[in-house]
Structure 1
Amino acid sequence: MKKMYLLEVQAELNKSIVTHELFKEEDISTLPEPVQRYFRYCGYIGKEKMANAKIVWDDVHFKIRPDKPWLKIKYEQYNFVSEPARLAYIYSTMFGVIPFEGRDRYLNGQGNMLGKLLKKVTLFDVAGTEMNISTAVTYLSEALLVPACALQPYIKWEAIDANHAKASIDYKGVKAEGIFTFNDKGEFTKFATDDRYMDTGGGTSEKHKWTAEASNYVEKNGIKIPSRLKAIWNLHDGDYEYFNGTVTNIVYDNKKIN
């Protein structure tokens, strides 16, 4: 699983073309006002437009179901810009001893979530239309962490008000959308969508409202990034937070796996 993930990442890195172009005011002039405020507040104007990003995680916890305890996991992730792609690798142990590996992939407009025990036993291997939409919307939710994505033709923006903007992704026939919330400083604090499918077991899935929350901005290499990210299902009987992790850094324009 880890080898497959690394091969997929390196293949995408080999296709990434670093242009060394800088973010300019004219690049963001047509974006909704709160999105422009985010670019300025975080310090991207005058910095190089990135072709890819490694999001470096620490202290990541994951909950398989609302009634299950939190698991501490190792989490690795790369996002790519010119052709939208997202690859993530998950490692943990079940009951403290049984190795579990997962690979979350959004590539060529298609999504796949693969999980295995003991490197051989497949727990799940989910693909199809619902997964394509869900992984596309996950990629969209992270577009401002890799803000060159926000300027690509596959993402469109629509103004709402001083603290909200709608974003949509349309790539290879898969469409999804959501609303970003910003505070007055310019920090993006939340992304909410109704276009994500939750696995309900037995090979079925249902659409539910899904929220990603960002907080605790810190400065790294002259750029402000959110250091705490959460993912939450907003269910009819209450919120189900299932992912909570610390971002220690975002490394742009990787040429090889590090």
Structure 2
Amino acid sequence: MLTALEELYCLGALDDEGLLTRLGRQMADFPMEPSLSKVTIASVNLQCSDEVLTIVSMIPLTQNIFFRPRDRQQQADQKKAKFNDPSGDHITLLNVYNGWKASNFSTPWCHENFIQPRNLMRVKDVRSQLQQLMTRHKLPLISCGRDTIRVRRALCSGFFRNSARKDPSEGYKTLVEGTPVAMHPSSALFGKPADHVIYDSLVETTKEYMHVVSVIEPKWLVEAAPTFFKVAPTDRLSKRKKAERIAPLHNKRASPWTIGTSTPTPTERPATM
């Protein structure tokens, strides 16, 4: 319960007294996880709500979008790779939906690209319902065109807790808890250089794998969650690390209503590059 309240506070849905804010009332009207509703609303100010609406509609069905027949695995992987975006999986999902839309929502196009047409139809229905909610709240649909940096900045507003940095030894470590995590082999970023990332969720098999991952800049986390992250002191850092260093303000032992004013204790693990 405390963890849930803390998350809502950090997302700006609750105030210092635990009451719903104006943003919180808007978020409560969207039938999705708080992080996704926050991203959807924040995307309006960043002028990328059209793209974000598609992405948040795709995320819950990500694992069921592509299919990979045993006898045609290589061909399926090649088709999937055509949609991969260098920035990661969120824009890759957008590319899939936009490709389907450009084909006039064609079922044969889905089969040709090893994509489940039934699940894309569900995404389309979800997107339509969310668009109606945005209209009710007078939140306009605005496209950012090719400026997908805006999309990733909007994603940071909801997924700042799900952030990780490249570990010098192997894999990644989450910024908040320092938990070792790995890039999922199905990710568009698998095997690619990416120092700081955000992810939708963790999937545990042989390792804890990050699911639906995108590259970010550390400063976006500070901009998106000033009550959760701050720029760390740079007096004892190398020149390379001085440019962008952030530290979580999160204290698991503190009351969730004091997070915005607390400072890291000496025992906390700061986030570094």
TM-score range, shorter chain: under 0.3
Structure with the larger strand share: 1
Q: Which has the larger radius of gyration?
A: 2
How does the TM-score come out when normalised to structure 1? 0.24
How does the TM-score come out when normalised to structure 2? 0.23
